[in-house]
Amino acid sequence: MSNNLFDEFDPVSSKLWKQKIQYELKGADYNETLVWESPEGIKVKPFYHIDEAKDPVTETVQPKSFKIGQDIFVRDVDKSAARAISTIKRGAEAIRFTINDASTDAETLVSGINTAIIVHFYLHFLSIDFVKKLDMLAQGRDSAFFVHLDPVGRLAKEGNWYNNLNEDFSRLNTLAFECRNISFIGVNGGLYQNAGANAVQQIAYTLAHANEYFNRVPSIKHPVILKVAVGTNYFFEIAKLRVLRLLFNLIAKEYGHEHDCHIIATPTKRNKTIYDYNVNMLRTTTECMSAIIGDADTIINLPYDSLYHKSNEFGDRIARNQLLVLKHESYFDKVSNPADGAYYIEELTQQLAEKALVLFKDIEANGGFITQLKEGTIQRKINESAAREQELFDNGKEALLGTNKYPNKNDIMANDMELFPFLKINPRKTLVSPIIEKRLAEKVEQERLQSEKV
């Protein structure tokens, strides 16, 4: 008798599996009954088999432990610095400071942070002097600083540059020449997911967005930061992150850029709800799992109550603990490329890569990402994709439990709202039409809130 249990069984081919399935369908059409098509045009089969498996498009890598991140919005420097230290003691391994004011004392902000901790600075301004101070701080501390400067992302989201195209890129080129210790290019690819783009669009737009920096800032010497929002389609999201890294590195090599990208992932806001809000914890858990298996470098979880509550210790602690459980109790960081060899994920990776590369090439052939933003092409395509998904939600074909599926009619939220969780209209003159982030449940929630007041 063989020592291998599986040697005692004859192999079963994909053809035999399909015949068995066809028999069980009792005459129903196999393709119509069991094969479904994703918004990206990918036909998903009921099973995947080694007979039909293609060679993997990604390479197996050494185990890499993802970093548990924490967002901190800086209003008071001393309080933010103290909060960062407290958060690190409670399990955070990376901090992302959001800073609005160029006069912020960055040295005080990071003075108590261990140099082993990765620090991200998400800046709402483009200041050469401020970034050079961060570069000097990083040199003196010998620690990893990632500065998120993204003029193209600002154009896409706000409709305007910080100053203008030439000035913004001139400042980036100055920083590329003078800064030696920090990464300072951050690509906000999460915008496209939160606005309703499908997975192929998200990958292609993020790559085309990054390609503008490779074209216009030729002396980038440090890793580029890719900010990604992770949706609820578990296996597609795993494949999306794998493809993003694969194609980014492919494009970067064409420019002689040898650094891997740094992917910072956050759960999407698009499927989050204010009613039955505890379900948000289930959504963010699976989304963080996708981010880990998809090989994100840093993951910052979204608190379950972030839509309607101001930042608070309880919400942040729960969000952080979700990642701590995944890392230290579920051991999600101990396996090298856990998706490797999964035929379904490999097939999704292959198809998403092929489709995203075609769209990326089309964008470049038609003037590049900035040009297509100015023409409104990117915005139009995202709006079309978002409208299709919204229609599915409105018709109940895309379900959000507790909102359009099994809602609790006794759930009252009007008195618990500290933040305005809906699309905010900000009339202003813009160079291009902004890409608008919008949640699926907004209309339903607004109607329910209104009925509470009657």
Same domain for 120 and 17? no
* Domain's final residue, options 345, 375, 406: 345
59 pLDDT band (50/70/90 cuts)? Answer: low
Residue 110 domain-assigned (yes or no): yes
- pLDDT value of position 50: 84
Tokens 């409104």, located at residue: 376
- Kindly tell me if the per-residue pLDDT of 60 is higher than 60: no
Instruction: Give pLDDT tens digits for 261-319.
Output: 999 999 999 999 999 999 999 999 999 999 999 999 999 999 999 999 999 999 999 99
Q: Residue 337 has what pLDDT?
A: 75
What whole-number distance in Å separates Cα of residue 451 and Cα of residue 454? 5
Q: How confident is the model at residue 453 (pLDDT cuts 50, 70, 90)?
A: confident
Mean pLDDT (whole number) for 397-415? 92
Half-sphere exposure of 134 (CA within 13 A, CB side): 28
252 and 177 in a common domain: yes
Whether 405 is in a domain gets the answer no
3-state secondary structure of 108: helix
| 67-78 average pLDDT score | 97
Look at residue 281 and tell me if it is in a domain.
yes
Domain's final residue, options 327, 345, 363: 345
Same structural domain, 321 and 208:
yes
Query: In this structure, are residues 223 and 182 in contact, taking their beta carbons and an 8 Å threshold?
Result: no
- pLDDT exceeds cutoff 90 at 434: yes
Residues 5-15 have pLDDT tens digits of 767 777 888 88
Return d(Cα 128, Cα 147) in angstroms, integer: 12
In this structure, the answer to whether residues 303 and 202 fall within a common structural domain is yes
* Over residues 248-266, mean pLDDT: 95
Q: What is residue 162's predicted lDDT score, i.e. its pLDDT?
A: 97
Residue 404 domain-assigned (yes or no)? no
Structure confidence at residue 298 (pLDDT):
97
The mean-pLDDT minimum among 161-165, 242-246, 338-342, 420-424 falls in: 338-342
Residue labelled with tokens 């999964």:
342
Say if residue 202 is in the same domain as residue 338: yes
List, in order, residues 6 or more apart from 310 with CB less than 8 Å away: 418, 419
H helix runs in 142-278, sequence order: 151-158, 165-178, 190-195, 199-216, 234-254
User: In this structure, are 30 and 144 located in the same domain?
Assistant: no
Q: Give tens-digit pLDDT for 332-368.
A: 888 777 787 789 999 999 999 999 999 999 999 999 9
Tell me: do 135 and 44 sit in the same domain: no
The pLDDT confidence band at residue 221, using thresholds 50, 70 and 90, is confident
Kindly state whether residues 119 and 33 are assigned to the same domain. no
The per-residue DSSP string of 351-401 comes to: HHHHHHHHHHHHHHHTT-HHHHHHHTHHHHHHHHHHHHHHHHHHTTSS--B
Residue 148: is its pLDDT beyond 60?
Answer: yes
* Mean of per-residue pLDDT scores for the chain: 93
pLDDT for position 333:
82
Task: Please give the pLDDT value at position 58.
Answer: 62
Nearest Cα to 415, choosing from 316, 313, 309? Answer: 309
pLDDT of residue 97: 98
Verify that 84 and 225 share a domain, yes or no.
Answer: yes
How far from each other are the two terminal CA atoms of the chain, in whole angstroms?
Answer: 76
Query: At how many degrees (to 10) do helices 199-216 and 234-254 cross?
Result: 20
Interacting residues of 379 by C-beta distance below 8 A, sequence separation 6+? 373, 432, 433, 434, 435
Query: How many DSSP H helices and E strands does the chain contain?
Result: 16, 10
* 405-428 average pLDDT score: 91
Over pLDDT 70: what percentage of the chain? 97
Q: Which range among 56-60, 64-68, 80-84, 257-261 shows the weakest confidence by mean pLDDT?
A: 56-60
For residue 152, name the pLDDT band (cuts at 50, 70, 90): very high
Asked if residue 27 and residue 100 are part of one domain, the reply reads: no
Whether residue 159 sits in one domain with residue 12: no
> How many whole angstroms separate alpha carbon 240 and alpha carbon 290?
9
Is there a domain that residue 293 lies in?
Answer: yes
Structurally, the chain folds into a number of domains equal to 2
Residue 40's domain comprises 5-52
Q: What separation in angstroms does the CA of 344 have from each of 353, 354, 425?
A: 14, 16, 42
Structure tokens at 163: 């100053």
Nearest 10 degrees: Cα torsion 166, 167, 173, 177? 150
Say if residue 108 is in the same domain as residue 228.
yes
